[in-house]
Chain A
Amino acid sequence: MLLDLPFVAVGLIAVIGLGAMIAKKNLIKVILGLGLLEGAVNLFLVAVGYRQDGIAPIFTNAPEGVMVMPTVQALTLTAIVIGVATLALLLTMAMAIHRHYKTLNVERIVKLKG
């Protein structure tokens, strides 16, 4: 079990992010929990594609050895950029909510009328 330390770390970071999203009352802390969850998923994607004693899948002046899997690294690049886009939009909406309601407590932003 000690050899699968990356997968245990992925599980721990995901659980911490999920707990932050459920239990915290400040809107910024909820958004930070979402960022932690996305980081855990990206780490999991990169850790799945590793081969024992592997080198990077690049042929320019490549040393000897087997190459790790390149497809999951492409998926992770896409996921990181989409995570940046999502967090930018969420934080902008949090700024607008704070300007309108003068508070960031999620238990007091429930007065939707009209």
Chain B
Amino acid sequence: MKKIVRTAARLLYPFAFIYGAYIVLHGHLTPGGGFQGGAVIATGFALMLAAHGPGELSGIFKRAALNICEVAGLLIFVLAGFGGLTHGRAFLFNWLANAGGLFGHSVAHGPNPGDLNTGGLVPLLNIAVGLEVLGALSLIIYYMMTFANHIEEGGPDDAA
């Protein structure tokens, strides 16, 4: 029974990751964005955690990898905000919008099919917040499962 659950989880988690990454990347064109996409990716992590248990995962599911993911998200947010200060304007000023570089196309007012290359700082901040939310929610589930297993086994000083 454990073999069936583990094989099915290992086959299904890439689809959750791809769906969540689509929601994060198209956050400036369709409903969604960083927080929603990060929560969907965290359900992929929760699937693997529930199938394998918190002590037996390796690779991209280790606790150190999730830690790096979460910290990198917040750091990218703050550093992208400082880019506005170097251009002589305020913190978190949209210095990439209508500028012609990365994410720099202009958009006229009114309905349009949607261009992925627009938005300025908004897609960058979407990616940063998506990384942080997936790391944070997966770490919460990880910590609570470890604690629950520790309580169930009685802890190291059960005889006291």
Contact = CB atoms under 8 A, between A and B. Distances in A.
A99 interface: yes
Nearest to A81: B35
Contact of A59 (B33, B112, B144, B148): B112
Using C-beta atoms within 8 Å of the partner chain, give the interface range for chain B: 10 to 19
A95 to B, nearest CB: 6
Q: Which of B30, B140, B143 has the most chain A CB atoms inside 10 A of its CB?
A: B140
24 contacts: A56-B31, A58-B29, A58-B30, A58-B31, A59-B111, A59-B112, A60-B29, A60-B30, A60-B111, A60-B113, A61-B111, A61-B113, A61-B114, A77-B33, A77-B35, A80-B35, A81-B133, A84-B137, A88-B140, A91-B144, A92-B147, A95-B147, A95-B148, A99-B151
Q: Which 3 A-B pairs have the closest CB atoms?
A: A60-B114, A62-B111, A88-B140
Interface in A61-97: 61-62, 77, 80-81, 84, 88, 91-92, 95
Interface of A: 56, 58-62, 77, 80-81, 84, 88, 91-92, 95, 99
Contacts of A60: 29-30, 111-114
Interface of B: 29-31, 33, 35, 110-114, 133, 137, 140, 143-144, 147-148, 151
A62 B137 CA distance: 33
A31 to B, nearest CB: 14
